[in-house]
Structure 1
C-alpha cells in the first residue's frame, strides 16, 4: 500500500468514527444475515460519495441518517461475525447485523432495518436460472459475493432528490449539490453520528430554499423545478414506498414532470430493491454493458437486447458487473465542470 493510499484509507475510516461514545441507543434490534453478507456491497449504493452527509458505509459498519414519520433518526448497523467455535459448528452461519438507533424516529428506523439491509431480496430465482447464462467471469462475481443484497429503504422522496440532482450532470457536480443542500439546509443528526452528518432537508425545507442557494449548489433551473414539483407532491410520493413492484410505482412516479424512466429506475433500485430496474438513458451504462458483454459500445436498445436473457434480474447483473471491477475503455479528456458562482 502506498503512502497516499494509506492516507486515503485512514481518512475514509475517520468518516465512520462517531462524535461520542456509541452507547445508550433509543432503540435497538438485530438481523441474522445470510452467509457471506457484505455490508459495504449491499448498502454502498445508498451513499453519494465519500463525504455524503447522510450515509456513510464501511466494511463492517454503516451510519444512516434520515427522517421517519416519527421524526429524525440516526441508524448504526454493525456486522458481528459469529465466534470461531460457532462458525466451525455451523459453517453456513452468516454475520449478525446489530442495529442501534437514536432520535425520535429510532423505533421506526429499527423496524425498517432488515428491509434496508436486503432481508426481503431473494436471489434464488436468479441462481436457479439466469446465472447460468452469464459469462464465466461475471458468474464468478456471484460466487465471490453470495451475500450481496439489494436494499429497500421504502423512503421514496428521500431517494428521489439525490437522483434528480444526478440528472444530466457529472458525478462531481451531483455530489457537490447533494453535500451543499444536505449540509447547509439539513438538521444535525441525532445521537453519536460521525461529525458533520445530517438529516437531509425534507420537502417543506426544500421549498423554502432561495434561488441564490440553488445557484450555490450549482443546480440548474430544470433540476430545481423537478425537485420543487416533487416536494409539492411529497406525501403521495412517499406512499409509493408501500406499493409492491407489481403495482408499478415507477410508472406512478413518472407522472411528475421531470421524472422519466432513468430517474424512476435509479430511485426504485434503492427504495424497493428492484431486481430488474435498468437505468435506460444513463450516459455511461449502455456503453459499459456493451463493452462488458460484447467488447464494443452499444446504445440503450442494444443494452436491453443484451440483458434480455436475464429478464427479471437485469439489475442484479448490473450490480454483479460492478463488483467484477470491469472498466470500459475511456476516450477523450475528462470534463472539468465550471463554477459560475463568481461570474
Structure 2
C-alpha cells in the first residue's frame, strides 16, 4: 500500500465501500466517501476528483501489496463497484490488534445465547478462519433477554440499515390502534426493559420518532437520499433526562422525590433508578431530576407499598389515581369511597 498519507486514507475509504455487499456504490458515492473520510481524518475540507478515484482503484488492483479484485457491475445506464470476492479487504491487522480482536471475539461469542445475536456466530467463524483467532468455548457472560420477543428477527436487518445509512418504510401497529406507514431514516437501536426500539428521523413530523420492534409489521428500504443525524448525535445525551425511551411532548425536567421503606431503600441506593439520583440515608428518600413519563410511573408502581411519591404533586396525584383504579378493579373501593369496605 502506498505510504502517502492521503493515498492511504483514500484506499481505506474505498476498501470500506467496495467490501460492503449491503449497498451499491456508484462512482459518485465512492468520490463522496473519499472526500468525507479525508475530511474527517485530516480535520480539513478535502476534495477528491472522480479521476483520482478511478486512478486509486486501478492502483489497488495492480499493486502487488493489495491486488484488490474490483469489479464494475452494470446497473441500467450506470455502474456500481464492488469486490468480486466477498470478505476481501486490503486492511491487515497487526499482532497487537489481533490480540485485541481475540478478546473481542471471545466477548462476542458470549452473546450467541441471545436470539438477536445468533448472526454473530458466522462472523466469529469468518474472523477465526481469516486471522487464525482462537475462540474460548467457555461462556463467562450472561445477559437478560426475552427469547420470545416479537420483531427480534428484524434486528440484523435494521442494524445493517443504520450502518449503511439506508432510509426505510415501516408499517407500524401500536397497541389498540390501527397500523400506519412511516418513513424513517434510522440512527440508533436501543434496548429498554427487554424490548428493542428503533430511533430515526421522521420527515413527516420533522423530528425523531421511536418505534418498538415488536410492533413493526412490515419493513422495506426506500430509494431516497438519507437524512443525516443532526438531532440525536449522542444517544446518551438524547435520553439523558428520561427513563426508558418515551420523551413526552412539552415535557420538562422536574425534581422527583421518592420515600422508601428502610428495607427497599437499601436496594434502590445500591441500584439507582436514574443517573441523577441522590440519596438521603436519614429520611430514606431519593431525588432524581427527570422528565416524568410512563416508564417512571411503571417503576414507581413496581415498588408497590414500599414507596411514596413526595414531589412533584402532579406525579403523586397520577400515581394515586392509578392505584384507585386498581383498587376499584379488585373491588376494594366502592362508590368512590376512600377506604376499603
TM-score by length of 2: 0.30
Which one has a bigger Cα radius of gyration? Answer: 2
Higher relative contact order (CA 8 A, sep 6+): 1
Greater share of strand residues, 1 or 2?
2
TM-score by length of 1: 0.30
